[in-house]
Amino acid sequence: MRIAIVGAGLGGVTAATGLHLTGHDVTLYERAPDLRETGTGIVVMPNGLAALDSLGLGAPLREHAAPTTQGGLRDRAGRPLLVTDAAKAQERYGQTIVVDRAVLHRTLRERLPADCIRTGVAVGGLAEEPGRVLVDGVDDADADAVVVADGIGSRLRARLFPAHPGTERTGRLDLRGTLGTIPGVEDLLTAILIDRHSGAMFGLFPMGPGGLYWFTDTPMPATVPEPEQAREQVAELMADWHPAVPAVLRATAVADVHVDPITRLAKPLATYATGRICLLGDAAHGMTPDLGQGASQAFEDAAALVEHLEGATPAEAAERLGRYDAERRPRANRLMAASSRQSRLTTRTGPAAWLRDTLLRATPPALAARQLAAIWLTRGQHR
Ligand SMILES: Cc1cc2nc3c(=O)[nH]c(=O)nc-3n(C[C@H](O)[C@H](O)[C@H](O)COP(=O)(O)OP(=O)(O)OC[C@H]3O[C@@H](n4cnc5c(N)ncnc54)[C@H](O)[C@@H]3O)c2cc1C
DSSP 208-238: TTTEEEEEEEEE--SSPPPHHHHHHHHHHHT
Residue 123 has pLDDT above 70, yes or no: yes
- Give yes or no for residue 174 CB within 6 A of ligand 1: yes
Contacts of 344 (CB under 8 A, 6+ apart): none
Any idea where the domains of the chain sit in the sequence?
Answer: 2-167+265-382
**Could you tell me if the CB of 123 is within 6 A of ligand 1?**
yes
| pLDDT for residue 70 | 63
What does the pLDDT read at residue 63?
86
What confidence score (pLDDT) does residue 176 get?
96
Residue 71 pLDDT greater than 80, yes or no: no
pLDDT tens figures, 36-52: 877 789 999 999 999 99
Paired residues of 257 in beta bridges: 177
β partners of residue 207? 211
Residue 22 has pLDDT above 80, yes or no: yes
Kindly report the backbone phi and psi dihedral angles of residue 113, in degrees, each rounded to the nearest multiple of 5, phi listed first: -60, 145
- 60 to 49, 57, 254, 314: CA distances (angstroms): 11, 6, 30, 32
Question: What band does 137 get if pLDDT is binned at 50, 70 and 90?
Answer: confident
Task: Compute the distance between CA of residue 74 and CA of residue 89 in angstroms, rounded to an integer.
Answer: 19
Parallel/antiparallel/unpaired status of strands 66-68 and 96-100: antiparallel
User: Nearest CA to 12 among 92, 98, 130, 121?
Assistant: 121
The amino acid that residue 185 corresponds to is V
The best mutation among 10, 169, 207 to test binding of ligand 1, ranked by most ligand atoms within 8 Å of the C-beta, falls on 10
Q: How confident is the prediction for the chain on average, in pLDDT?
A: 93
Question: What is the position in ligand 1's atom list of the atom closest to the CA of 45?
Answer: 11
CA distance 295 to 40: 14
Classified as helix, coil or strand, 54 is: helix
pLDDT at 291 over 80: yes
Pocket of ligand 1 contains residue 7 by CB under 6 Å:
yes
Between the CA of 70 and the centroid of ligand 1 the distance, in Å, is 22
Contact indicator for 242, 188 with CB cutoff of 8 Å: yes
Cβ 13 under 6 angstroms from ligand 1: no
- Is the CB of 29 inside a 6 Å radius of any atom of ligand 1? yes
Ligand 1 neighbourhood includes 217 CB (under 6 angstroms): no
Closest CA to 72 of 378, 376, 372, 353: 372
Measured in Å, residue 254 CA sits from the centre of ligand 1 at 22
- Ligand 1 centroid distance, CA of 10 (Å): 6
pLDDT tens, residue by residue, 176-200: 999 999 999 988 988 899 999 999 9
Q: Is 86's pLDDT higher than 90?
A: no
Q: Which CATH superfamily is domain 2-167+265-382 in?
A: FAD/NAD(P)-binding domain (3.50.50.60)
Q: How far away, in angstroms, is 170 Cα from ligand 1 center?
A: 17
Check pLDDT > 80 for residue 32.
Answer: yes
Looking at residue 375, its amino acid is: I
Reported as a pLDDT band with limits 50, 70 and 90, residue 383 is low
What's the average model confidence in pLDDT over 58-85? 87
Identify the residue with better confidence: 174 or 377. Answer: 174
Task: Write out the E strands in 160-285.
Answer: 167-180, 191-194, 201-207, 211-219, 257-265, 273-274, 277-279
Per-residue pLDDT of 195-231, as tens digits, reads 999 999 999 999 977 899 999 999 988 899 999 999 9
Q: Is 309 in the pocket of ligand 1 (CB under 6 A)?
A: no
CA of 312 to the centre of ligand 1 (A): 28
Model pTM score: 0.96
Ligand 1 contact, 36 CB (< 6 A): no
pLDDT reported for residue 284: 98
Give yes or no for residue 298 CB within 6 A of ligand 1. Answer: yes
DSSP state at residue 256: G
| CA pair distance 178, 169, nearest whole angstrom | 25
Query: CB-hemisphere CA count at 13 Å for 369?
Result: 16
Ligand 1 lined by 290 (C-beta under 6 Å): no
Distance 288 CA to ligand 1 centre (A): 12
CA of 161 to the centre of ligand 1 (A): 20
